[in-house]
C-alpha cells in the first residue's frame, strides 16, 4: 500500500486534467491487455480491423507490461490540453529524458530488453521522436479521433464533477467514488494497488488527478519522489461512452414537464454537452438546446464552462423531482 500524507498547502493544491497523449498510451495498453475490459469491447471491435503496421512503433514502447515510459504520459500543462500541443512537447524533449525513461523501462521485469523503435530512440532520439510523433498522429486519426468528441465530453464532465466535489466536500468528496483502490482518511491518501508498503509526506508538491477513458478498470500512478505525484483514474459514467439509442424517460415526471425535458434530466446524472446529449437521447441538437434553456430558466439544470465546452448538470431541485 502507498500512503501519501498531505500538508495544509497540499490540500489546496489538488488539480484535475485530462491528456490526449495519455489516452493514446492507455488505449494501446488496453489493446495489448484486453482481459477484464468488457466495457471497451465495442471500441476494440471497431478499431482492431483498421490498425496497420503503423502501430508497430507504439507497441515497441507499450508492449503491455506494467511500465509505460513517462515521456508518453506527459504532465498536462492545462486542464484540457490538445494532442497537437502535447506532440510538440514530445518532439522537444531532451535526449537525457528519453534515455532515462527507457533505462527505467528495461529495469521492469515485465518489459524486457528494448526493441525496434525503443532502440532507435535510445541511440538517436531526435529523428526517432519525429517518427514516433507521426505514428502517434496516424494512430490517433484511426483509433481515437472518430470517438474523441464523445470521450472529451465525458472527460470534461468528470473534471467539472470533481471540482464541484472538492469545493463542496473537500478531498473526502473527491476520492469517495474515484476507484475502489483509493481511500482518504485524515489527510492521508491510501493507494491499495501498490503491493509494497511505501509512504510519502507531501511538502508543497500537490497532487495531479488525471481522468482517463482507457485506464479503466485500473489506475496509472507516478507517486515516487521527487516531483508531483500523479494518479490517472477511470472517468465516471464510462459505461455510457459506447452506448447507442435512447434512455427511457421517467413516466411520472414526463407527464408533468414533457418527455424531452424528463429524458434530458434523466441523462444528466453526469455533466454533458448539448452535442453529447443529442447523441445519447436521439433528440436533434436544436431541440436539446431549446429544452435545456427552459430547464435552466426553471432552475432544474445549471451550466458551467470547462475548457472550450459548455456542460450542463442537474441541480438538487431536479434530483428531488426524479427521486419523488
**Read out DSSP for 169-216?**
H-HHHHHTTT-TTEEEETTEEEETT-SS-EEEE-SS--EEEEEESTTT
Give the distance from CA 105 to its chain's centroid: 23
Measured distance CA(159)–CA(236) in Å, rounded: 10
- Whether the CB-CB separation of 69 and 105 falls below 8 Å is answered with yes
Measured distance CA(24)–CA(137) in Å, rounded: 9
Helix (H, G, I), strand (E, B) or coil at 305: strand
- Whether the CB-CB separation of 271 and 161 falls below 8 Å is answered with yes
For the stretch 113-126, what's the b/e string if a residue is b when 16 or more beta carbons lie within 10 angstroms of its beta carbon?
Answer: ebeebbebbbeebe
In order along its 324 residues, the chain shows pLDDT tens digits of 889 999 989 988 999 999 999 999 999 999 988 888 888 999 999 898 888 767 888 888 887 667 888 999 888 989 999 999 999 999 999 999 999 999 988 887 667 788 899 999 999 999 999 999 999 999 999 999 998 988 988 898 899 889 888 988 999 999 998 999 999 988 899 988 665 678 888 988 999 999 999 999 988 888 876 788 999 999 988 877 876 554 555 666 777 788 888 888 888 877 788 888 888 788 888 888 898 888 888 888 888 777 777 888 888 777 777 766
Beta strands at 198-201 and 207-212: parallel, antiparallel or unpaired = unpaired
* Per-residue pLDDT tens digits for 104-116: 888 876 677 888 9
- Whether the CB-CB separation of 66 and 110 falls below 8 Å is answered with yes
Q: How many CB atoms lie within 10 A of CB 215?
A: 25
Helices (H), the chain: 8-11, 20-32, 41-47, 56-61, 83-91, 95-107, 116-123, 125-139, 148-169, 171-175, 251-257, 259-267, 274-281, 285-297, 316-323
Measured distance CA(28)–CA(214) in Å, rounded: 9
**3-state SS track over 56-95:** HHHHHHCCCCCCCCHHHCCCCCCCCCCHHHHHHHHHCCCH
Q: What are the structural domains, with CATH classification, of the chain?
A: 2-15+151-238 (no CATH), 244-323 (1.10.10.10)
Amino acid at each position: 500500500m502507498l500512503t501519501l500524507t498531505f500538508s495544509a498547502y497540499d490540500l489546496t493544491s489538488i488539480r484535475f486534467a485530462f491528456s490526449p497523449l495519455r489516452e493514446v498510451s492507455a488505449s494501446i495498453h488496453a489493446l495489448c491487455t484486453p482481459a477484464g475490459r468488457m466495457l471497451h469491447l465495442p471500441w476494440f471491435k471497431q478499431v482492431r480491423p483498421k490498425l496497420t503496421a503503423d502501430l508497430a512503433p507504439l507497441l515497441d514502447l507499450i508492449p503491455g507490461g506494467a511500465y509505460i515510459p513517462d515521456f508518453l504520459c506527459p504532465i498536462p500543462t492545462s486542464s484540457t490540453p490538445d494532442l497537437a500541443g502535447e506532440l510538440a512537447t514530445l518532439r522537444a524533449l531532451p535526449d537525457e529524458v528519453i534515455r532515462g525513461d527507457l533505462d527505467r523501462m528495461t529495469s521492469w521485469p515485465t518489459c524486457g530488453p528494448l526493441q525496434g523503435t525503443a532502440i532507435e530512440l535510445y541511440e538517436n532520439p531526435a529523428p526517432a521522436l519525429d517518427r514516433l510523433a507521426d505514428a502517434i498522429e496516424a494512430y490517433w486519426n484511426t483509433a481515437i479521433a472518430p470517438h474523441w468528441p464523445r470521450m472529451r465530453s465525458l472527460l470534461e464532465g468528470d473534471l467539472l464533477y470533481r471540482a464541484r466535489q472538492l469545493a463542496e466536500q473537500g478531498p473526502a468528496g473527491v476520492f469517495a467514488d474515484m476507484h475502489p483502490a483509493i481511500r482518504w482518511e485524515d489527510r492521508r491518501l491510501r493507494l491499495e494497488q501498490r503491493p509494497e508498503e511505501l509512504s510519502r509526506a507531501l511538502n508543497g508538491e500537490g497532487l495531479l488527478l488525471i481522468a482517463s477513458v482507457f485506464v479503466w478498470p485500473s489506475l496509472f500512478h507516478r507517486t515516487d519522489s521527487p516531483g508531483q505525484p500523479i494518479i490517472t483514474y477511470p472517468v465516471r459514467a464510462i459505461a455510457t461512452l459506447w452506448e447507442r439509442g435512447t434512455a427511457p424517460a421517467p413516466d411520472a415526471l414526463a407527464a408533468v414537464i414533457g418527455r424531452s425535458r424528463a429524458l434530458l434530466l434523466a441523462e444528466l446524472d453526469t455533466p454533458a454537452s448539448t452535442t453529447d446529449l443529442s447523441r445519447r437521447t436521439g433528440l436533434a441538437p436544436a431541440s436539446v438546446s431549446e429544452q435545456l434553456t427552459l430547464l435552466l430558466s426553471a432552475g432544474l439544470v445549471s451550466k458551467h464552462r470547462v475548457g472550450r465546452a459548455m456542460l450542463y448538470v442537474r441541480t438538487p431541485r431536479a434530483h428531488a423531482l426524479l427521486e419523488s
